[in-house]
């Protein structure tokens, strides 16, 4: 590849939320966390419903009814509330970050990836990336399971450059996955 691929976009709350959603869906850590909360919520719901059904059969109806209803509500709170809590936490962290609303410019080449904003710049050799994942929305470049760079599809100056980058990443990273 002769000419580097240029990518730039504004780091916004929408980008952060999209990156978080994709990371939670496709990373091992995110899938474990999501699965744990789902399982816990369903377990509380199931036990709560069993207690509510059993309340009709016991002489301590009120106690079983209250406890069962509490577990059902706890299960619902986990299933509905945890995604909302995660979203709120991510947005709060984003709002405090020094890179909030800054334009991030990337240059992607055979040697590696460089990024630059008004507050920081960095250069990464390809060997620092253990995984690249392509989705409909963009590329997640993983240095570890928790450290990820985000290259949205809309940020490529030339739309065909997304495919050029995909070919480059396939040749440089052993774990390349296309989820489109």
Say what the pLDDT of residue 41 is. Answer: 87
Task: Compute the Cα dihedral for 145, 150, 152, 153 and give only its sign.
Answer: negative
Predicted confidence at residue 58, as pLDDT, reads: 62
pLDDT at 57: 64
Domains of the chain: 5-11+99-178 (2.30.29.30), 18-96 (no CATH)
The parts of the chain modelled with pLDDT lower than 70 are: 1, 55-60
| Residues 94-124: tens digit of each pLDDT | 999 988 999 999 999 999 999 999 999 999 9
Q: pTM, whole model, 2 decimals? A: 0.80
């Amino acid at each position: 590849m002769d000419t580097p691929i240029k990518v730039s976009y504004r780091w916004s709350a929408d980008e952060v939320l999209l990156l978080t959603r994709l990371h939670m869906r496709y990373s091992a850590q995110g899938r474990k966390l999501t699965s744990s909360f789902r399982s816990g919520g369903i377990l509380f719901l199931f036990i709560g419903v069993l207690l509510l059904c059993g309340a009709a059969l016991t002489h301590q109806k009120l106690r079983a009814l209250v406890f069962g209803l509490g577990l059902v509500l706890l299960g619902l709170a986990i299933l509905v509330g945890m995604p909302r809590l995660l979203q709120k936490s991510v947005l709060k962290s984003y709002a405090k970050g020094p890179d909030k609303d800054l334009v991030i410019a990337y240059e992607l080449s055979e040697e590696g990836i460089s990024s630059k904003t008004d507050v920081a710049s960095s250069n990464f050799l390809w060997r620092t990336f253990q995984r690249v994942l392509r989705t409909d929305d963009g590329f997640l470049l993983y240095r570890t399971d928790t450290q990820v760079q985000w290259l949205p599809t809309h940020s490529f100056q030339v739309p065909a450059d997304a495919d050029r980058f995909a070919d480059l990443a396939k040749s440089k990273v052993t774990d390349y996955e296309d989820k489109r």
